[in-house]
Amino acid sequence: AQSVAQPEDQVNVAEGNPLTVKCTYSVSGNPYLFWYVQYPNRGLQFLLKYITGDNLVKGSYGFEAEFNKSQTSFHLKKPSALVSDSALYFCAVRDLNQAGTALIFGKGTTLSVSS
């Protein structure tokens, strides 16, 4: 069975500091990994994804994520946080070899960036 763990309910950082939102996953085959951001009462916005290739994936709004197969992790990072980055972030996974299946989401991590 596929699963995603986001161990932190909330991450607090000061504006200008680097941020990391953690994610670990479990799939039986090769992972297809995503990060989404959700603003209050809104749908999900795609940030980035990993399928194959370079372990460091760059996405929207200056975010990036690093795929680590040995640690089964896909942590979201940004070198310098902005107050406007404050939102709810979801990591998601599906088995790359199971085409057409839905994404399985982590519980979400609330990012709070203070000025």
Q: Which residues bind another protein (CB under 8 A)?
A: 34, 36, 41-46, 90, 99-108
Least separation in angstroms between residue 70's CB and another protein is 26
Question: What is the C-alpha separation between 115 and 65, in angstroms, rounded?
Answer: 24
Distant-in-sequence, close-in-space partners of 40: CB < 8 Å, separation ≥ 6: none
Tokens of 19: 């941020």
Contact 106, 24 (CB under 8 A): no
Least separation in angstroms between residue 102's CB and another protein is 4
Q: Between 9 and 115, name the residue whose CB sits nearer to another protein.
A: 9
Q: Between 44 and 82, name the residue whose CB sits nearer to another protein.
A: 44
Distant-in-sequence, close-in-space partners of 97: CB < 8 Å, separation ≥ 6: 29, 30
DSSP secondary structure code for residue 44 in this structure: E
Least separation in angstroms between residue 113's CB and another protein is 19
Q: Between 12 and 80, name the residue whose CB sits nearer to another protein.
A: 12
Q: Between 42 and 79, name the residue whose CB sits nearer to another protein.
A: 42
Least separation in angstroms between residue 27's CB and another protein is 15
Q: Residue 60: phi, psi to the nearest 5?
A: -75, 155
